[in-house]
Amino acid sequence: MNKQETLEILRKIQTGAISPEEALLKFCTEPFEDLGYAKLDHHRELRQGIPEVIYGAGKTPEQITGIVNAMRDKGQRLILITRLSDDVAEPLTKSLPLHYHQIARIGIIGEMPEPDGIGKIVVATGGTSDMPVAEEAALTAEALGNSVIRLYDVGVAGLHRLLSRLNDIMDAQAIIAIAGMEGALASVIGGLVDCPVIGVPTSVGYGASFNGLAALLTMLNSCACGVSVVNIDNGFGAGYLASMINHRYMR
């Protein structure tokens, strides 16, 4: 149940179209649905403005299908499935109207919304190897109603590549800076712009990168103000946060 549907119920109470008891029943039966293996939070969109997202890793095709069908039965028009592996996505495409994005490991059911945010979100990566995390962030942001500009392979090893797109980064409402190795990209971008920068360390790198820990520590110790950091490889979390920033003053 989203905010619009809740307001509609309240208006029906006001006009006498339904009784308070009937409305109470609707509210009480909506909060979550117990499928046995999952408890779906149908009130999440009402509380947070964004419906529940399915984390696909570790779930069977049958479990995901059951969750998707329950969401669709409740009227959820767009369903996002993150961390979806090829072997699980393949059978799902036969039973569900699933659009699978292999690089991002994201499955999307439903039509992507028209952008309705304040401005644009820039997703920038240090290298091409960071693209899986970047695409997870970009597709998440787009699914949440944002216009996204992708700037890939603009890392500090060739800083002129980033500087050639200064207009894009300076015009952004929020920037997601994704990098492995030493993770310096977030600090560089943070020193150039006046909008929030979300750093995403990735597990890309050689031995002493410690599967992204080196990049994480670099981003956490950034000397540039306005840089926040999500967990290693957490493109979804960065896309979600950037969307909140890009919609913040519309409430």
State residue 30's pLDDT score: 62
Domain that holds residue 144: 120-250
Closest CA relative to residue 130, chosen from 179, 192, 61:
179
Closest CA relative to residue 133, chosen from 90, 101, 87:
101
Helix/strand/coil (H, E, C) string of 3-26? HHHHHHHHHHHHHCCCCHHHHHHH
Domain shared by 97 and 165, yes or no: no
Residue 11 lies in a domain: no
Domain boundary among 109, 136, 168: 109
Q: What is the CATH number for 124?
A: 3.40.50.1970
Task: Count how many domains the chain has.
Answer: 2
Name the pTM for this structure. 0.85
Domain shared by 125 and 231, yes or no: yes
State residue 71's pLDDT score: 86
Domain shared by 93 and 198, yes or no: no
Domain shared by 174 and 64, yes or no: no
Mean pLDDT of successive 10-residue segments in the chain (251 residues)?
67 81 65 70 73 91 93 88 95 93 96 93 97 98 97 94 94 97 95 96 95 97 95 97 87 47
Q: How far apart are CA 101 and CA 235, in angstroms?
A: 14
Give yes or no for a contact between 234 and 214, defined as CB atoms under 8 angstroms apart.
no
State residue 18's pLDDT score: 78
Domain shared by 167 and 201, yes or no: yes
Residue 241 lies in a domain: yes
